[in-house]
């Protein structure tokens, strides 16, 4: 991942509704949720939500597939990993990574 892609990814996440969407979809892995459910759950009009979903998708943070009348969105965790790898490489150094390492030990035993 390069800086341009990282900025798109970070920018996509740096907004209340969109961060909420991503968090929600991470909790619903690996099944995902249909667009309407996401909108209802977060109390946002469906067309507004659609615009946010499209921004997250363009940043490759979401994938989607149609299932009959529903469009199911899923969090793309590979992109999340990629942006975190970018941050570690460019915005971290040596000992300063230690706290993250500890965090990971707890999460991934």
Partner DNA sequence: TCCATATTTCTACTATTATCGATATATGGA
Partner DNA sequence: TCCATATATCGATAATAGTAGAAATATGGA
Which stretches of the chain bind its own copies, using CB under 8 A? 3, 6-7, 10-11, 13-16, 19-20, 22-23, 26, 29, 75, 77-78, 80-81, 84-85, 87-101, 103-104, 107-108
Q: Are 56 and 7 in contact (CB under 8 A)?
A: no
**Residue with smaller CB distance to its own copies, 49 or 68:** 49
Instruction: Output the smallest distance, CB 66 to DNA, in A.
Output: 6
**Residue with smaller CB distance to DNA, 17 or 79:** 17
Closest CA to 107 of 22, 30, 26: 26
Q: Which residue has the tokens 């996440």?
A: 13
Task: Catalog residues that contact DNA under the rule CB under 7 A.
Answer: 11, 15-17, 34-37, 39, 44-55, 64, 66, 68-71
Q: Are 83 and 10 in contact (CB under 8 A)?
A: yes
Partners of 73 in the beta sheet?
33, 64
In the 8-state DSSP scheme, what is residue 61?
A: S
């Amino acid at each position: 991942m390069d800086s341009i892609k990282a900025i798109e990814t970070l920018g996509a996440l740096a907004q209340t509704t969109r961060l909420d969407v991503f968090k929600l979809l991470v909790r619903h892995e690996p099944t995902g949720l249909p667009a309407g459910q996401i909108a209802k759950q977060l109390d946002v009009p469906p067309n507004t939500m659609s615009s946010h979903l499209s921004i997250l998708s363009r940043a490759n943070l979401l994938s989607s597939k149609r299932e009959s009348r529903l469009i199911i969105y899923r969090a793309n965790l590979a992109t999340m990993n990629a942006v975190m790898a970018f941050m570690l490489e460019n915005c971290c150094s040596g000992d300063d990574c230690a706290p993250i390492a500890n965090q990971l030990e707890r999460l991934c035993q």
